[in-house]
Amino acid sequence: MEVLQAQCHRKDLRCSLSSRYIRHCICTTYQKLDDIDVLSVEMDTSNNSTLIESSTSYRLYYHVYAFDNDLRSFPSNICEFPKIVLIDLSFNKIKDIDLVPCITFLDTFILKHNLVEYLSNTTFLHLKFIRVIDLSRNRLKYIEPGFLINVNGSLFKFDVSYNYLTTLDITNILWTQIIYCKADFSHNSIHSITNVLNWKSQDNSTFSVHGVLDGSFNNFTYFSMFNENGLNLKHAGKLNNWAIFARGNHWICDCKVYPFAKSIELFVPVKPLSPTSVIHDIYISSNEDDELIRKWLLTSLVPCLEKTGYDVFLFFRDGTYGEPREQETIDVISKSRNFIILLSDDTQGNQQWNKREWKYAWNYYKWDFSRELIIINYDLLTYIDVVKQFFSGFFTLRKVIDFSNYNKNIEEDILALLK
């Protein structure tokens, strides 16, 4: 929670009690404020509305709820209450949301099932506290370019599913804030990606460490994110920790699809690991050709883990001779509870098996928060040295054990992380 509050410069955000990881925390974040009043919405005979304070005592922050009220616009005096933190006007007939910028403390904006057709790139731009935007099931036909790429605060969830979008600009796909939860463009009629602003990625361009982009059930035939729409193919690795859903489209497998499929996995969520399917408690990935690493594993770490009761899988020790290695790797990783990755000078992308192990372990880990992934920086590699497309988030959040910084306590610290 401290990492979340520091990143967003806010002390009013909390994680659910079950959150053990920063990404899960962000996707279950809620706002904790004590001094809140609920403003009521009153309608006159002409269908005009105003906000009325429901208590005589002064309150610092406000919530607004009005469902199925036949509202056709925001309450006329809404800008008199800049400290509204939550608005839910779902199931109304609102078309215009131009008054939103005056609600400077807005955290959650829910306008499901309304009639909004257009979203300006400035509507939410200066709302530094906005965390949730839900415009699902409206009549949204166009989002101005340059919205999401310029968000740099605490916007975690952006939902425009079930609308009438036909195009999606590259600057409304890429996020630059350090992490977000989900951008949902599913169930539209999007057939192409545009680059109206002629945006181009640079070597120093940074994008979110994690996030889910849902483009399911649209009219895509290929993803033109790369090159022609500004994202240089050599920068695709910066998105490797993203999960992109794209099922329910009309993909044509040609040379335009190949760079997308090759560079970014079209992830399918992995079902949480059930206790009955666990075969191994820990899968360890390391440079099998390094004698010092093998010696430390076989004489120190693994005996310590096994003495504690963990079932450990080391491929160079436990792999089945003659079996196709990749298939066995997938099978074993899918049935392992936890993963330990050793990074060393010889595992900077040169060994294909290590890269595949990392990919499979990372995908299973990030879709099942009951698993644990521990990274041991064996040779004190710097952030630049490591294969960043897999583990940059761990280095950013300092969730890496530096081997050389320990004396004799590293095994105990690993055991503590596994509990």
Q: pLDDT (tens digit, 9 = 90+) per residue, 143-181?
A: 999 999 888 778 999 999 999 999 999 999 988 887 788
Read off the pLDDT band of 333 (50, 70, 90).
confident
Residue 392 lies in a domain: yes
Read off the pLDDT band of 51 (50, 70, 90).
very high
Residue 358 lies in a domain: yes
**Average pLDDT value for residue range 284-311:** 89
Check if the beta carbon of residue 119 is closer than 8 Å to that of residue 96: no
Residue 338 lies in a domain: yes
Reference 180, options 220, 153, 205, 199; nearest CA is 153
Range of lowest pLDDT (92-96, 171-175, 318-322): 318-322
Residue 304 lies in a domain: yes
User: For residue 383, is pLDDT > 50?
Assistant: no
Looking at residue 268, its pLDDT comes to 43
Quote the number of domains for the chain.
Answer: 1
Looking at residue 114, its pLDDT comes to 96
Residue 398 lies in a domain: yes
Q: Which residues pair with 184 in a beta bridge?
A: 159, 214
The mean predicted confidence, pLDDT, of the chain is 81
Find the CATH number of the domain harbouring 403. 3.40.50.10140
Looking at residue 245, its pLDDT comes to 85
Looking at residue 260, its pLDDT comes to 52
User: For residue 349, is pLDDT > 60?
Assistant: no
**Average pLDDT value for residue range 49-75:** 86
Which has the higher per-residue pLDDT, 145 or 26? 145
Reference 145, options 186, 191, 195, 183; nearest CA is 195
Pick the most confident of 231-245, 254-268, 294-308: 294-308
Read off the pLDDT band of 270 (50, 70, 90).
very low
Provide the whole-model pTM: 0.63
User: For residue 342, is pLDDT > 90?
Assistant: no
Residue 353 lies in a domain: yes
* Portion of the chain with pLDDT greater than 70, in percent: 76
Give the domain extent around 383: 275-418
Range of lowest pLDDT (12-26, 43-57, 152-166, 267-281): 267-281
* Angle of CA points 373, 25, 29, to nearest 5°: 170
Residue 399 lies in a domain: yes
Pick the most confident of 31-45, 98-112, 304-318: 98-112
Looking at residue 369, its pLDDT comes to 58
**Average pLDDT value for residue range 212-233:** 79
Q: What is the pLDDT of residues 67-90, one digit of tens each?
A: 988 899 999 999 999 999 999 999
Residue 393 lies in a domain: yes
Q: Residue with structure tokens 């990143």?
A: 7
Read off the pLDDT band of 8 (50, 70, 90).
low
Range of lowest pLDDT (12-16, 70-74, 124-128): 12-16
3-state secondary structure labels for all residues of 264-318: CCECCCCCCCCHHHCCEEEEEECCCCCHHHHHHHHHHHHHHHHHCCCCEEEHHHH
